[in-house]
């Protein structure tokens, strides 16, 4: 715009400064030349402005909103080339609006891993009650990021903004706490999966150890300190063979690096509670499944492979022992998460100083009825009306345990937790979602 001003004032001044123009030609010719040069000038100005506009348009950091909707996130190399996707007044406005509490006695929650399976359901449920919710996720490509983007789009429609960023980025976390005084943090971001730990061990250290510490560091320094609820895992029971698993049972024999990082997380939680007075609740989830679930989990890829006619591997424990899981439906897990947030006491410290003892809890969130994997496949065959091509294999010793079974007495009494969905009912809902999400019209058709 500033280019226009000198130009117009120059034009204005023409009649009063005739000396600038040779007057030896007739006024008519002069006028012609004047119009001609005016047109030429306008043309170059137009070109110049266009170039400037094009330059700014291409150089401007992408609006987090439009980037999240349109960028082809399936290409991680492209993401790393982009300028940071957070910051700016518009971004801050969206953060504030998403975190605004809309009901009496509502809470204000930062949900990490919000574009994940559990994170999406928990964020949506909190928003529905009128709580303030801000999501955060790094949209990594451990599994198909288009599914994470679709979950993000679902959350956007309910009014939840998911900030794109890494929990190990303490500058970003601090910025979020500067903008919003969160009363609670629901920490679900993690590197999940048991067998992948042998392929990419450092991703577990990055997210589940360094990332957790970075979250707790920011929480401990915040004023007021938020109460924290975070996802541990039933895998901490490891080689423990006493069933059902109770919170008091030993958890010092992890069978995978994933389990070891979750166990480490529980110890780190103890430290931050002890030193800084942070109120912390750890939830040991037992094999969560349901709509919008994780493609790396058996129920999910069995469904995909049964429909494709591909063979599915079924693991068998030594001596033909059954492999079984205490499958827990997502809605039950969400209820357990919300009850944990609602019963969490306030942290007692402030600005990094402890003022008194604070709450420290661990709960099993399971379903209390282990189902053999063969039974899972039978249910899927009936729901999909396709016979599975099963291949029995010896269970490799690469992280999986043979059996999980939760004792949920503690969660029942402290949280009022009471799982209400059996595997048959829950899988029916999953299959309905799966078929609609992956139906011919493409991935966007599901909602």
Ligand X SMILES: *[C@@H]1O[C@H](CO)[C@@H](O)[C@H](O)[C@H]1NC(C)=O
Which residue, 145 or 244, has its beta carbon nearer to ligand X? 244
**What gap in Å lies between CA 297 and CA 204, rounded to an integer?**
17
Stretch that binds ligand NAD, among 27-35, 132-140, 350-358, 405-413 (CB under 6 A): 132-140
HSE-up (13 A, CA, CB side) for residue 224: 14
Residue 258 is a catalytic residue:
yes
User: Using the rule CB under 6 A, is 234 a contact of ligand X?
Assistant: no
Q: What is the DSSP code (8-state) at residue 345?
A: P
CA distances from 273 to 233, 236, 267, 364 (A): 19, 20, 10, 19
User: Using the rule CB under 6 A, is 343 a contact of ligand X?
Assistant: no
Name the token pair of 60.
């401007």
**What gap in Å lies between CA 99 and CA 224, rounded to an integer?**
16
Stretch that binds ligand X, among 10-18, 181-189, 204-212, 287-295 (CB under 6 A): 204-212
Catalytic entry in 143, 196, 204, 258 = 258
Q: Hey, how many other C-beta atoms are within 10 angstroms of the C-beta on 97? A: 12
Helix 373-384 × helix 298-308 angle, to 10°? 50
**What gap in Å lies between CA 48 and CA 254, rounded to an integer?**
65
Q: For the chain, what is the radius of gyration of the CA atoms?
A: 29
Of 286, 290, 287, 317, nearest to 407 by C-alpha is 286
Residue selected from 211, 244, 290, 336 as contacting ligand NAD according to rule CB under 6 A: 211
Residue selected from 109, 190, 255, 427 as contacting ligand NAD according to rule CB under 6 A: 190
Residue selected from 218, 228, 231, 280 as contacting ligand NAD according to rule CB under 6 A: 231
Of 368, 351, 442, 350, nearest to 405 by C-alpha is 368
User: Using the rule CB under 6 A, is 347 a contact of ligand X?
Assistant: no
Which residue, 233 or 367, has its beta carbon nearer to ligand NAD? 233
User: Using the rule CB under 6 A, is 119 a contact of ligand NAD?
Assistant: yes
User: Using the rule CB under 6 A, is 170 a contact of ligand X?
Assistant: yes
User: Using the rule CB under 6 A, is 246 a contact of ligand X?
Assistant: yes
189 binds, among ligand X, ligand NAD, none (CB under 5 to 8 A by kind): ligand NAD
Beta carbons within 8 Å of 420's beta carbon, 6+ residues apart:
329, 331, 332
Show the site string, 165-184: x = touches ligand NAD by CB under 6 A, - = not: -xxx----------------
**What gap in Å lies between CA 290 and CA 335, rounded to an integer?**
14
- Burial string for 146-180 (b: 16+ CB within 10 Å, else e) reads ebbbbbbbbbbeeebbbbbbbbbbbebbebbbeeb
The minimum distance between CB 250 and ligand X, in angstroms, equals 14
User: Using the rule CB under 6 A, is 225 a contact of ligand NAD?
Assistant: no
User: Using the rule CB under 6 A, is 346 a contact of ligand X?
Assistant: no
Determine the size of the site formed for ligand X (CB under 6 A).
10
User: Using the rule CB under 6 A, is 369 a contact of ligand X?
Assistant: no
User: Using the rule CB under 6 A, is 111 a contact of ligand NAD?
Assistant: no
Name the token pair of 270.
């103890």
User: Using the rule CB under 6 A, is 96 a contact of ligand X?
Assistant: no
The minimum distance between CB 398 and ligand X, in angstroms, equals 23
Element housing 77 (H / E): helix 76-81
Residue selected from 100, 206, 270, 428 as contacting ligand X according to rule CB under 6 A: 206
Q: Which residues are catalytic?
A: 258
Contacts to ligand NAD by CB under 6 A: 113, 115-119, 137-140, 148, 166-168, 188-192, 207, 211, 231, 233, 285, 287-288, 294
Contacts to ligand X by CB under 6 A: 168, 170, 205-206, 210, 244, 246, 407, 409-410
């Amino acid at each position: 715009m500033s280019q226009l001003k000198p130009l117009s004032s120059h034009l204005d001044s023409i009649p009063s400064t005739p000396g600038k123009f040779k007057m030896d030609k007739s006024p008519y010719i002069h006028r012609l030349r004047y119009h001609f040069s005016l047109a030429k000038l306008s043309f170059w100005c137009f070109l110049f402005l266009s170039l400037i506009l094009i330059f700014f348009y291409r150089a401007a950091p992408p609006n987090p909103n439009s980037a999240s909707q349109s960028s082809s996130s399936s290409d991680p190399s492209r993401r790393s080339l982009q300028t940071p996707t957070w910051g700016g007044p518009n971004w801050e406005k969206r953060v504030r609006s998403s975190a605004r509490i809309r009901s009496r006695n509502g809470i204000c929650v930062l949900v990490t891993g919000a574009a994940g399976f559990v994170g999406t359901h928990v964020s949506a449920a909190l928003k529905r009650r009128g709580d303030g919710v801000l999501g955060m996720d790094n949209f990594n490509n451990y599994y198909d990021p288009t599914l994470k983007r679709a979950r993000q789009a679902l959350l956007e429609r309910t009014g939840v903004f998911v900030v794109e960023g890494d929990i190990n980025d303490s500058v970003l976390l601090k910025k979020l706490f500067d903008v919003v005084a969160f009363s609670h943090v629901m920490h679900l971001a993690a590197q999940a999966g048991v067998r992948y730990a042998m392929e990419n061990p450092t991703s577990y250290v990055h997210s589940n150890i360094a990332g957790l510490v970075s979250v707790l560091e920011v929480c401990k320094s915040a004023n007021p300190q938020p109460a924290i609820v975070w996802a541990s895992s039933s895998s901490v029971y490891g080689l423990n063979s006493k069933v059902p698993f109770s919170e008091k049972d030993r958890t010092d024999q992890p069978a995978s690096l994933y389990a070891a990082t979750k166990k480490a997380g529980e110890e780190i939680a103890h430290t931050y509670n002890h030193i800084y007075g942070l109120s912390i609740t750890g939830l040991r989830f037992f094999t969560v499944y349901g709509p919008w679930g994780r493609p790396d989990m058996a129920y999910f890829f069995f469904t995909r492979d049964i429909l494709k006619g591909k063979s599915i591997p079924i693991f068998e424990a030594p001596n033909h022992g059954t492999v079984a899981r205490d499958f827990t439906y997502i809605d039950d897990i969400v209820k357990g998460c919300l009850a944990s947030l609602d019963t969490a006491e306030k942290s007692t410290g402030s600005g990094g100083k402890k003022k008194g003892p604070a709450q420290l809890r661990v709960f099993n969130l399971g379903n209390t009825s282990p189902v053999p994997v063969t039974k899972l496949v039978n249910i899927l065959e009936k729901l999909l009306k396709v016979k599975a091509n099963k291949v029995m294999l010896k269970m490799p010793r690469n992280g999986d345990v043979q059996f999980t079974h939760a004792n949920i007495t503690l969660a029942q009494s402290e949280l009022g937790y009471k799982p209400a969905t059996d595997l048959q009912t829950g899988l029916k809902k999953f299959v309905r979602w799966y078929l609609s999400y992956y139906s011919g019209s493409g991935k966007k058709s599901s909602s």
